[in-house]
Structure 1
Amino acid sequence: MKEKLKRLFDYRELLFNLIHKEVKVKYKNSFLGFVWSLITPLMMLVVFYVAFGIIFKLRAMGMQFYAFFLMSGILPWNFMATSLLLSVGSVVNSSDLVKKVYFPREVLPLSHLGSSSFHFILQELMLIVFLLAFRVPLTPWIFMVPVVMLLEVTFIAGLSMFLSALNVFYRDVQHFTEIIIMAWFWMTPVIYPIALIRDNFPAWAQRIYMLNPMAHIILLWQRITYNSPHNGTEAALLSVPGLLGTIALSITLLVLGYVTFTRLEGRFAEFI
């Protein structure tokens, strides 16, 4: 495994070039360019704000700045979902490259994660600018951005490599991933506060709900960008055992994903 990690490090320039290519190609011949990475989450914000903030009146639960609450969850969720959906088919979609050129195949899913990370950072910076513009006070939790970013990237990287490797042999994996992500969204406190689960479900159901690692990651992002003094001390509830479990799971997934990918990559050319 040490040799394979060294091999990946030796090909870091290729990884960076692929990330640059993904970012550049996405907005090639586009008039608005990178602005689209900001428009998409803003449109989602408008839709969910109207649906849940006005029609279903989630604002009536005492949530101030509900729009910022939405953004604090939508951005990291989109980061995860986009990265996975692009990564899972990355090896299959690069069949010519895989068959003809030698390089560490793991750079393919990781390049999509890298390009998605670039857009996510832009979006988070935009959110912070909006918070400052609307004079929403930030807390010291803002300095945890790099740590939480690293946690989410670790989680996504492991899952991306694992799923992209399996997708080479079982193409149903990509379709299955799309369906799971749709269901996963509603099982994660992205557009509704975690208090909704706490106040309306029995303890055993809450424990099952909080087995979702993305719930803890989203709650961390909400604590960073939404849990200001204006929103109260319970704007984003956190469970220390659950958080530690998410960290352990993310590291385990990273190792499992990398080991699975590198063990199977020798057979990729046969199946694509």
Structure 2
Amino acid sequence: MSIYADLLRYRELFASLFQRDLRAKYKGSALGLVWTLALPLTLMLVYLVVFSVMWKASATDVDHYWLFLLCGLPPWVFFSSSLQSSARSLVENAGLIRKVRFPRQLVPLSIVATQLVAFVVMTAIVFVLSLIVLPEARSTAWLSIPIAAVIVLFVSGLSLAVASGNAIYRDIEFVVTALLLPLFFLTPILYSVDKLPGAHGHPWLVDLIQWGNPLTPVIECFRAPLFQGEVPSTANLVYLVVETVVALVLGAWIFSSVDDRIAAEV
């Protein structure tokens, strides 16, 4: 699709937008880009202390629960931060969009690229911890790398769709923000789907979380090789690939539909 092919054709412009967004993110801070490492580490530590040390429940009765939790965080943080940041990207770059004609999809995609930096850092940390703590995962941990690449494509498509839609309908950014909190608890980050306390009494709820939540296959596919030392299930892999294709097509379609109106609406 030409929408995404423009990333290669205008790679120098894309790189400039990425560098600008990355510098702007930490503008005025003493540590600058060091925060790309410090922030993911701090976030992972906070989740670790709160949910693995202070919060105890039967749903967390998992060996090495702290690592179980950390294996679910990188995809979620990347997903949520990318959608929130990209939602207003076209609106916040209205001045540039009105003055210069260029492939406008580069704007939200460059925002995703800035969030990708933290995703890479967090994934690298979890990867190393998995190799150290879980010998059984040493032969499968490398699978998390291509899976992470697919997750990047999935998030890119959704982010482009959200940014394009929000350029026309400003309510979308608020809808995204409102949905992220309940979606976090409906995604198996803090718990394993098959170990939910109410799973036996409410099997429909398990099915809803497993197959009704598009983020469940994302987390399960990412966690399986890193924590369980297994290849992700065929069902989860197929689900992830299919929803990634759908997200990319949806993002390209929505952007193409509103591209001519963006400059006037923002």
Deviations 1:171-195 (A, max 9, x none): 1100110111111111101122223
Matched, 1:194 2:188: no
Contact 1:53 1:59 in 2 (8 A): no
CA contact (8 A) 1:52 1:58 kept: no
| Structure 1 Cα separation of the partners of residues 60 and 172 of structure 2 | 39
Q: How many residues align?
A: 263
| Deviation sequence 1:53-99 (CA, Å, 0-9, x none) | 23442488542222222211112110111111111111011000110
Over 3 Å counting, the alpha-carbon distance change for 1:119 and 1:42 in structure 2 is closer
Unaligned runs of 5+ in 2: none
Aligned to 2:234: 240
Q: Which residue of 2 aligns with 1:185?
A: 184
Cα RMSD for the two superposed structures: 2.5
- Structure 1 length normalisation: TM-score? 0.86
**For residue 237 of structure 2, what is the amino acid of its counterpart?**
L
CA distance in 1, matches of 2:241, 2:100: 36
Q: 1:198-242 CA distances to partner (integer Å, 9 max, x unpaired)?
A: 8625332222111212111111221132224xxxx7xx9x55324
Verify the 8 A CA contact 1:144 1:224 in the aligned structure 2: yes
Contact 1:83 1:156 in 2 (8 A): yes
Query: Is the deviation greater in 16-25 or in 262-271?
Result: 16-25
In the TM superposition, residue 268 of structure 1 has moved relative to its aligned partner by 0.8
- Counterpart residue number, 1:147: 146
Unaligned runs of 5+ in 1: none
Check whether the contact 1:168–1:271 (CA below 8 A) recurs between aligned residues.
yes
Q: Kindly tell me: are residues 189 and 153 of structure 1, through their superposed partners in 2, closer, same or farther at Cα, counting changes over 3 Å?
A: same
For the 8 Å contact 2:162–2:172, the answer to whether it is kept is yes
Secondary structure of the equivalent of 1:140?
Answer: coil
2:208 maps to a residue whose letter is: I
Residue 215 of structure 2 corresponds to 214
Which amino acid in the other structure matches residue 13 of structure 1?
E
CA contact (8 A) 1:74 1:191 kept: no
CA distance in 2, matches of 1:248, 1:131: 28
Moved over 4 A (4+): 4-8, 58-62
Q: How does 1:43-82 map to 2 (within 5 A)?
A: 43-58=42-57, 62-82=61-81
Q: TM-score, normalised by structure 2?
A: 0.88
Structure-2 separation of matches of 1:100 and 1:153? 30
Quote the Cα distance in structure 1 between the aligned partners of 2:113 and 2:72.
Answer: 20
Show the counterpart of 1:224.
225
The separation in 2 between residues aligned to 1:176 and 1:218, in whole angstroms, is 22
SS in 1 for 2:134: coil
Residues of 2 paired with 1:170 and 1:258: CA distance? Answer: 17
SS at match of 2:27: coil
